């Protein structure tokens, strides 16, 4: 069984998807981490995302795989360096290039064949695995998402103001939903869950029970 979970930045997808995978004993695949990791790799190599030739060269020696602890890039697990605010914005910039999306979509399809999976991102139900047995689209108001993200950053020792984070989330929402290739949108057969005011546990148990009904 494949469960696709899509939604905007900071909608709680990662936390929810990881817990759903744990409860069902499915493999969890975070596709945002792949965009983040590729953006960081290109930046470190001094490559401009808009340079299709240099990006193609870089991607030709970029290998993603999975381990119990998550995504592996070129043989090494991804670290916290992909979670910075700078990399959040870079990943949303790199994600608009069709050559990047084609490359990562292909890699994600390969990873999705690992058995029972929960895959989360922006275009999983629409592009990566449109034949997924269960598709969820998680949303929450931008204000609620910004509040959650500030809290999460604080707990990991990063100070940020609500206004700054709200602006960054709105910028990523705009990038993600207006790009011409695979924009963020719910699949026509996705179940839309507005999580504003819902606890993580409530969201997880809703999805787990939907999955159990479809298994």
* Contact residues for ligand C5P, defined by CB under 6 A: 9, 31-32, 35-36, 91-92, 95, 121-124, 172, 176
Closest distance between ligand C5P and the C-beta of residue 83, in Å?
A: 8
Closest CB to ligand C5P among residues 12, 211: 12
DSSP calls for the chain: -EEEEE-STTSSHHHHHHHHHHHHTPEEEEHHHHHHHHHHHHHHTT--TT-HHHHHHHHHT--EEEETTEEEETTEE--GGGGSHHHHHHHHHHTT-HHHHHHHHHHHHHHTTSSSEEEEESSIIIII-TT-SEEEEEE--HHHHHHHHHHHHHHTT----HHHHHHHHHHHHHHHHH-SSS-S---TTPEEEE-TT--HHHHHHHHHHHHHHH-
Closest distance between ligand C5P and the C-beta of residue 208, in Å?
A: 21
Closest CB to ligand C5P among residues 54, 93: 93
- Residue 9 annotated as binding site: yes
Closest CB to ligand C5P among residues 65, 212: 65
- Residue 4 annotated as binding site: no
Closest CB to ligand C5P among residues 9, 187: 9
The torsion defined by the Cα of 96, 99, 104 and 110, in degrees rounded to 10, comes to 140
- Residue 8 annotated as binding site: yes
- Residue 32 annotated as binding site: no
Closest CB to ligand C5P among residues 7, 24: 7
- Residue 7 annotated as binding site: yes
Closest distance between ligand C5P and the C-beta of residue 105, in Å?
A: 8
Closest distance between ligand C5P and the C-beta of residue 121, in Å?
A: 2
Closest distance between ligand C5P and the C-beta of residue 212, in Å?
A: 25
Q: Exposed, middle or buried, 126 (CB in 10 Å: 0-12/13-18/19+)? A: buried
Question: Which residue ranges make up the annotated binding site for ATP?
Answer: 7-15
Question: Which residue ranges make up the annotated binding site?
Answer: 7-15
């Amino acid at each position: 069984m494949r469960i696709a979970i899509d939604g905007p930045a900071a909608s709680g997808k990662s936390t929810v998807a990881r817990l759903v995978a744990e409860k069902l004993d499915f493999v969890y695949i975070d596709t945002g981490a792949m965009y983040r990791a590729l953006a960081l790799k290109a930046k470190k190599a001094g490559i401009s995302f808009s340079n299709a030739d240099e990006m193609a060269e870089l991607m030709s020696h970029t290998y993603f795989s999975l381990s119990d602890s998550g995504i592996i890039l070129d043989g090494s697990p991804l670290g916290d360096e992909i979670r910075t605010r700078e990399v959040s914005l870079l990943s949303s910039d790199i994600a608009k290039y069709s050559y990047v999306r084609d490359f990562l979509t292909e890699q994600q399809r390969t990873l999705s064949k690992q058995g029972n999976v929960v895959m989360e991102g922006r275009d999983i139900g629409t592009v990566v695995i449109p034949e997924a047995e269960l598709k969820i689209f998680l949303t929450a108001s931008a204000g609620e998402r910004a509040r959650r993200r500030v809290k999460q950053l604080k707990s990991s020792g990063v100070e940020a103001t609500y206004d700054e984070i709200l602006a960054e989330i709105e910028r990523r929402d705009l990038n993600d939903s207006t790009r011409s290739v695979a924009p963020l949108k719910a699949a026509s057969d996705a179940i839309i869950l507005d999580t504003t005011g819902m606890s993580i546990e409530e969201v997880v148990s809703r999805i787990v029970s939907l999955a159990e009904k479809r298994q």
